[in-house]
Amino acid sequence: MRPILLIANPISGRGAAARVVPEVQRGLEARGFAVDVHTTTGPGDATRAAREAPAGVAAVVAVGGDGTVTEVAEGLRGREIPLGIVPIGTANVLAREVGLPRKDVEALTAIIAAGRVRRLDAGELNGRLFLLVVGAGFDGEIAHRHKRGPDGSNSYSQYVGAFFGTLLTSPFPGMRIEVDGKVVATDAAHASVGNTRNYGGPFQVTSLARPDDGLLDVTWLEGRSLPRWLGFLVLAIGRKLHWAPGAHTARGKAIRIVPADPAVAVPVQRDGDPFGTTPVEARVIPQAVPVLVP
């Protein structure tokens, strides 16, 4: 029997990941796999478990949200082991990007068993892997303000206070943006570097991005008035943010974001989690992640 390692974050989906693991295991065993299950115990554990996966495994499957998927991908970095995804999280951005179903374990186990691989790019932010979107400014501050539940759980409702608090009180400090060594902005109020189109919830911020084109997309916003930002949000929901007055886009292999005022540290998020402050540099790693897809 071919071995598969499941790495499950038990608090993903408010505990749904822990409940779905036995069903995923049965589905894969019925298709001829020997399944080993690792349940994570805290941040970084999924990366350690993936890094220690035996060389002969047919796949390592992340059961959880986008944070778990990113951790598993970090652990598999540089290894030719396919990454399977059972999306049980709040946003499930990467699963949506590659067309994976949600809440259909039978279909998901069939996809994993079929072994069809699509190679996706990854990004590297100050040496750390990301698969989705890095933000400096608005969503970086939200990520830093946002507080998870006592058990580490996450939900959209928990973002509401941080979202509106940031929108109404943030000074939106300026940033300088360089794409492949060329300065493209000197006073951006926000910057998103995307490997994917999709973002959390209904938003698309880097809506021209593709996860397998060997490039990263950056969208930056200029202007700090509340009416302008409400316009940004409406167009981000409509997947047309790049059409907004004050919105700009570029594409490249290396994107550097530094504060316009060196004395001001601008908060940063990486795939939805806090990631320190500027300056940061994102670089693309082409075709780095073999993902099992429909």
Q: Which two tokens stand for residue 291?
A: 């993902």
Residue 152 lies in a domain: yes
Residue 247 lies in a domain: yes
pLDDT tens digits, 176-189 = 999 999 999 999 99
Residue 291 lies in a domain: no
Say if residue 147's pLDDT is above 60: no
Which is more confident, 166 or 99?
A: 99
Residues 100 and 172 in one domain: no
Residues 70 and 137 in one domain: no
pLDDT tens digits, 158-174 = 656 666 667 767 788 99
Contact 56, 3 (CB under 8 A): yes
Amino acid present at 102: R
Say if residue 151's pLDDT is above 50: no
91-118: average pLDDT? 93
Model pLDDT, residue 48: 97
79-103: average pLDDT? 92
Percent of the chain with pLDDT over 90: 66
Residues 136 and 203 in one domain: yes
pLDDT tens digits, 183-240 = 999 999 999 999 998 877 677 889 889 999 999 999 999 988 888 878 888 888 877 7
275-294: average pLDDT? 96
Residues 148 and 86 in one domain: no
Number of domains in the chain: 2
Range of the domain at 96: 2-115
Say if residue 122's pLDDT is above 90: yes
